Structure 1
Amino acid sequence: MTGDQQPFDSNLAAENERLKRALQTADIGTWEFDPINQIVHLDDRCQQLLGVSVPAVVPYPEVLQHVHPDDRVTLQAAISQALRPECEPPFSIRYRLAEPVNGACWLHSKGKAYFDQQNQPYRLSGITQDVTHEIQTQQQLRDSVERFRSLIEQAPVATALFVGKDLVIELANEPILTLWGKGNSALGKPLAEALPELREQPFLQILNDVYTSGIPYQAVADKCDLLVDGKLRTFYFNFTYKPLFDKQGLVYAIMNMAVDVTDQVLARQKVEASEARLRSVITSAPAAMGLFVGRDLIVDMPNQAFIEIVGKGPDIVGKPLRDVMPELDSQPFLQILDDVFTSGKTYKSFGTQVNIVQHGVMTHNFYNITYSPLFDANGKVYAILDIAIDVTERVIVQQQIEESRLQLLNSFEQSPVAIAIIREPDLTFHMANPFYGDLVGRTPAELVGKPLLEALPELAGQGFDQLLREVIATGVPFTAKEVPVDIVRHDQLATIFVDLTYQPQYESTQEVDGDKSVSGILVVATDVTGQVHSRRAIEESEVRYRALSLELEQQVELRTQELAASNEELAAINEELMAANEELAESNQLFTRSNENLQQFAYIASHDLQEPLRKVQSFGDLLKSKYGDQLGDGIDYLERMQSSANRMSLFIKDLLSFSRISTRRDATELVSLTGIVAIVLADLELVINETNAIIDIDTLPVIKGDKSQLGQLFQNLLSNALKFHRDGVQPRIQVTAREMTASDLPPTVKPARAAKQYQCITISDNGIGFDEKYLDRIFQIFQRLHSKSNYSGTGIGLAICEKVVTNHGGAITASSQPGQGASFSVYLPV
């Protein structure tokens, strides 16, 4: 080595040392392969990476044994390629170790080959680095990408990934490709190119804003027009645009998730349109209509007719039906509505009575009602349409018609004349009353439904069937007197005589071929057999009469003389009757004077007996106030004395009332019972409020009578209904009225005066009631069924009621069961 080389070599050694330290700091090992001698020089780091301890020079085949068998051939091929002079890329390869060393699994070797002048390789040197962490990180990233791709592709929801500012469709699963109407050809294209129809819609701008701002976007039931199979169709989606961020926090992609809700939106639109039409129908409908929404039956969309029927004013919308109409709690309609809501089945009723409080007054009208369930898009009931038509007038007319029909049928059944109706075909009996059955010797049941000659075969050959057909054909009535008929009665053939009428009955007032259509024959027959036999007997007796007439004329003169004597006796009897009349007049005067004396005595008794009682009560109050503290136990005796005096005072008042009613003459003025009851309720207002009683009163009639006495009648009956109420039960009293004929009166009711018509007023309560075995006692004076300690009173009230009703020519009775209330019925003649 020359002097000039020493500084250079020194510098090179220093540079090599710095390079070595740098490689060690970077955790990089160096190596050198001698292809001629097939050996490899390894530094310390390479020895650690390969797991070679010593020596530093290792045979090439031995080094290859530390490489994973699957990568060994690849490494050898790369080395062989690097040792070729024509190879341009430098040597670089990644491979696995046969066994991990100190956590190292993957190595990355780089190097360069050196050639001599004959282009023969004599050295391949380079570096080796542990890249296990980098390889694992890349593998995890690839696994994550694959999982993300698989998640998108297998997602049940339509999902796509738009990458970059141009929104390139990187991923799109089958559901979203189906919604777009596109195949896999859309992948890799910008969204605007793959779906050009979106350019006229807001979605591309929304995606651009999400990409720029990084803020997600959500939409519900948003409209979108897509070109599917060459046709532009409208869809509705719930969708989300979610931005995805890289490691630097920048948006690199947007994930789109969408759910097709087109069917739900269209169904909802149909429901909304249906509701709009329904609202229009309800508003303009002449019938009362309204909706009850939800299980709580919230009132919605009531029209004016519905509001008027409910009678609570227009402020009912949004309130539960139970709160709007509490009177329905005691009626079946709330339960029926709940059943309709549960079952989804329509309910209809016709001519149904509904009790409704309209403007503070309880009404009892009749309605045709329809409850129709309304279904949402899921087929569940969400509301009930109520349609109500007021048919009160029609029902009343039908009731009157039915009553008339029943009366007519009753008259038909009870008629003393034999009546039957015979119709085609085959002259069949349609109806027959009992008198007709008696006439022909059969019961009505044996006749009705059978042809004439089958029911009465003995009529064959007598011409009645031909006569009936002639009346049906011509429509001309037939009437005949004393028609002989051979009929089987009591199993024997007998001849009877009848006055017979065949009256045609018409199908309708319309004419058929110019003639009215006869539907049947009304047969009216009167049995005159007795008259015919009597007339014949009279004719036979006329001969005998003429023979006896001479004898009778002789006896007349004798009889005249006897009558003259009888007249003288009658004159004497008349004189005796005149004397008896004078005695009766004197008795009437005495009776009148007796009533006047009784009234005077009642007044004196009332005044003279009440005065000492008032003094007893007054002095008792003074003793109690002044000396109450000194009396000790004596205060109890004083209170008992005052209580007895109070009962005695009440007893005298009731006795005086009873006496006045017994002696007072009937008045004949017209009295409104509605007005009488109103005055009585005003007097009982305090008791009504204390007991929280409910009193329902029908419209009451106007009758002739004594206003004062009728007031006492209803005063006693209503006060008793309030007094005898059950503990813990709200008193409920009902006053009703109805008109009835004398024949409709119960057998036990015997009015004091006979009349054709009577008014029946009934006062019913839900009080303690009584045993009907005491019915004969309760209207007697001083009779009580309950102890004085439990219920106050003198036992005169119902006796006064009975006396008032008798004074007015009527009758009173009662019905009850213990614990189930009582009903008092008053019958007054009209």
Structure 2
Amino acid sequence: MLHHEYSKNAYRIYLEGGGEMGQLTRSYDWSKTVLGTPDKWSRNLLTTLSIIFHSKLPMFLWWGNDLIQFYNDAYRPSLGNEGKHPKALGQRGEDCWPEIWPTIKPLIDQVMAGGESTWNEDQLMPIFRNNKLEEVYWTSGYSRVIDVDGKIGGVLVTCSETTTRIKQNQVINQNLKDLAEREWRLNSLITEAPVGIGLLKTRDLIIETANNKVLEFWGKTASVIGERLATALPELEGQPFLQILDDVYTSGVAYYSNEISGVLEHNGTLKKYYFDLLYQPIKSANGETESILVLATDITEQVKARQVIEESSLEFRQMADSIIQMVWVTDANGMHEYYNKRWYDFTGSDFASSKGEGWDQMFHPDDRENAWKKWNHALETGNPYEVEYRLKNYAGEYIWVLGRAAPFYNSEGELIKWFGTCTDINEQKLLQEQKDDFISIASHELKTPVTTLKASVQLLNRLVEDPSPKVKYLIDWSNKTIDKVEKLIEDLLNASKFNHGQLHLNKTYFTLGELIEECSEHIGLEGKHTISITGNELLKIYADRDRIGQVITNFIGNAIKYAPGSQEIHIEFETLENALQVSVIDRGLGIEADKIPYLFERYYRADSSGSQYSGLGLGLYICAEIIKKHEGKIGVESEVGEGSRFWFILPITG
């Protein structure tokens, strides 16, 4: 009855590392925000955050309608030493930036509405930081981030604070003497930067600058500086990069891409890589492009990790679509995340109508309450879910199905999903109903002649004066045989009533000890077994006296039948918390462990030491249905050679 395509624990892969902001994001209490906890975040949001945290380029993200904020370590210094950091993380954009909101909100709205991305260079935006309003210059681009549903989920800001550069230029215009030192520092910063940085000059894309990281990406040394990019990296022929760079140069418009793939040669071998890439045109004073700044971050490992998750999900979907059962998946709270093709073919529904209360319209009205009750119990306890109900198909017909679901736990033992199936059992169910109808009719038809036969035998017994031992034996044998036939017919009728929901309880208050005495008194009269009873003689219970007596009698009869070597049968009853337990204990041969799970199933007959016993295998099934009808529990504990303990538990009050 569940649509994430990754496990609840997989989100942690995306949030690993990332320095200070990665740590703050992992420790932040997101449950108090509209986004909820990270295990509920969409894959696209998590992927974007992974890129941001591992990028050395300052990046900022507004996500969702409330524009909840994220940023990386590279952006962190722009917030100053005091003021907005760290409370800006997880904060609504409007609350964080009141001083510039009228300026940046239209840019955000343009992107969120599906408009073109924006790019502004050296834009003055005074912001409050370091306990004062400072003049801050930014070069930034606002671009959309698509969510898993195909809609725009947020706005990614690729930015660089240019305040220092602007002020440096102002100083340089006044005093050229600072210039050499600043250039040296800049070159040193570029050379050692952890992000790939290069500068390509003129439309021929001459490599003017290439720091250590970008040379590492290219698999080259500094000897390529001064060469055309196409000459230094011949493997770029046929890939889109040279054309993109030419478009940037001629248009003067920057290019940014997430997860762009490219093939580069390393030691004579071509390898595929994934990059976050920025091509930024550098313009002269007259506005013409002179060169292109290249910024590249290798995200190959992150992409491969995500692809492994995606491939696993695809394999599961293909497998689920190939089987005949309807398959569904929910999260830990029972919210549906996935249905296989068989589900949609059977129900004729779509995903939206198959969630939550949408199931109400698919259940048969008579089965709805029981199905929900068992499902909610499974969610509360973590126990497997199994129930039979009628489900409406695409033609509007109600078809019997067997619904099952099992919990799925992650490596830390947390229940994160439910995997469920619905199996068409309509033909088996109809055959069972026909069988039950036949048994019910046959039992009723047999009851009258058997009753007549029993009366005839009893009359014959009275008419025969001083019968011979052989005649007396035959009459007694006939009576016992008729009693067995009556018991079989009664079991069949009871089973039929249970199957059709026709067996009703007549609850009253009665003393449990008296009932146990009545059910066991005939044992002592036969002289073959002894009965011992322990329990509170005054304990009263609210239940159907005759039906509970039927269960106790069946337990005692089985102890005699299947444990003939057990001379003593012990019956004990005791109070538990808001309930009582009745146990019938023998010291017979015991029951093999592999048979115990089936003892209370319909028509199942235990075979003790190769001996076959009479009966239809309905006795314990009927007992289980009676106890279930009382909202109680029933069970057995047994060990071969040690005997058996059959028990049931009932609530003390109705």
When normalised by structure 2's length, the TM-score is 0.37
When normalised by structure 1's length, the TM-score is 0.30
Structure index of larger Rg: 1
The structure richer in helix per residue is: 1
